[in-house]
């Protein structure tokens, strides 16, 4: 099995899980680094339309493609769109084309719920028409479309996974910021937020990826995956604080006041994520693959919190 992006947040966890399961895998990174999951990484360089994957995919039966240019808030512009397209669309399709030519049987592509769209009250499902906003989401959608074309021509099986926010040991970005705020006892003005958001613990996502590699019914399907429990921002902060063994200091501030303050500070997108709902319906994974998340939300939060506390 080939795993791209093996030194990333999800990739490293997947490789470690594969090693624990006794599975053979070939980790791929842009530049050679220390062993991952006990395996020496394969260095591929920059990923784009002209990357040569032929040596990497030689004698490989499955590919799990995690490597991508990640979404960054406030990033926009024509040049940025071209960078996302080069790495996430053209790079993905270049790998898929060479994988199909090499006889790879199944290609698992970890995409994003952002292909479905942004915040809304109704839960997304796999049957929804994609409505990506922004160059990152568009690049992922275009990669998905291209993969289905390659699958139809070559016979290589494709599986697309669209996760929401992934959290767990070593998480970065906004989730790490929330843990820092809580651990330091910072008062947070989010007590009145009653939204609903789907999350997926990294252990659950890794387990689902392995299921999609192995399960016959996963072939040529798209899946939305989550922990099966949606949380409001306030609920998440309270339960994350409990995992950190501290008390969440939440202040009840009306959302219009928060919105005005966020706009003045140029943090409108961040507030939209904190206040808006973004849910996914994961019943297809249960129905078709008989999959259920091995970790509860509280298990996942505790794993993230324990790692954070050990690092500070």
136 as an active site residue: the answer is: yes
Q: Give the residue from 98, 18, 208 showing the smallest Cα distance to 6.
A: 18
DSSP string computed for the chain: -EEESTTSHHHHHHHHHHHHTT---EEEESS--S-BTTBPPEE--S-STT---HHHHTT-SEEEE---PPP-TT--SHHHHHHHIIIIIIHHHHHHHHHHHTT--EEEEE--GGGT-S--SSPB-TTSPP---SHHHHHHHHHHHHHHHHHHHH--EEEEEE--EEESTT--HHHHHHHHHHHTT--BS-TT----B-EEEHHHHHHHHHHHHH-GGGTTEEEE---S--B-HHHHHHHHHHHHTS---B----HHHHHHHHHHTT-HHHHHHHHS-B-B--HHHHHHH----SS-HHHHHHHHHHHHHHH-
Question: In angstroms, how far is CA 171 from the centroid of its own chain?
Answer: 11
Report d(CA 7, CA 226) in Å as an integer.
23
Annotated active-site residue in 84, 124, 136, 308: 136
- Buried/exposed 234-251: b ≥16 CB within 10 Å, e otherwise: bbbbbbbbbbbebebebe
* Active site members: 136
């Amino acid at each position: 099995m080939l795993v791209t992006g093996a030194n990333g947040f999800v990739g490293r966890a997947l490789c470690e899980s594969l090693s624990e399961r006794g599975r053979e895998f070939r980790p791929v990174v842009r530049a050679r680094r220390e062993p991952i999951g006990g395996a020496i990484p394969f260095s591929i360089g920059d990923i784009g339309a002209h990357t040569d994957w032929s040596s990497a995919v030689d004698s490989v039966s499955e590919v799990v493609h995690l490597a991508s240019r990640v979404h960054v808030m406030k990033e926009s512009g024509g040049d940025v769109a071209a960078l996302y397209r080069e790495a996430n669309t053209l790079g993905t399709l270049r790998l898929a084309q060479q994988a199909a030519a090499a006889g790879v049987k199944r290609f698992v592509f970890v995409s994003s719920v952002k292909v479905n769209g942004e915040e809304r009250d109704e839960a997304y499902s796999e049957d929804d028409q994609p409505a990506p906003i922004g160059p990152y989401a568009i690049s992922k959608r275009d990669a998905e479309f291209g993969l289905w074309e390659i699958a139809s021509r070559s016979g290589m099986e494709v599986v697309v996974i669209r996760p929401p926010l992934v959290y767990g040991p070593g998480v970065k970005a906004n989730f790490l910021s929330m843990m820092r705020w809580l651990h330091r006892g910072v008062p947070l003005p989010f007590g009145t937020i009653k939204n609903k958001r789907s999350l997926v613990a990294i252990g659950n996502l890794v387990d689902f990826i392995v299921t999609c590699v192995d399960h016959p019914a996963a072939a040529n399907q798209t899946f939305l995956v989550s922990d099966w429990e949606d949380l409001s921002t306030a609920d998440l902060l309270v339960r994350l604080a409990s995992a950190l063994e501290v008390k969440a200091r939440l202040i009840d501030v009306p959302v219009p006041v928060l919105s005005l303050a966020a706009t003045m500070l140029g943090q409108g997108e961040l507030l939209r994520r904190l206040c808006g709902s973004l849910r996914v319906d994961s019943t297809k994974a249960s129905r078709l693959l008989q999959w259920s998340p091995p970790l509860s939300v509280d298990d996942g939060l505790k794993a993230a919190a324990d790692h954070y506390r050990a690092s500070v």
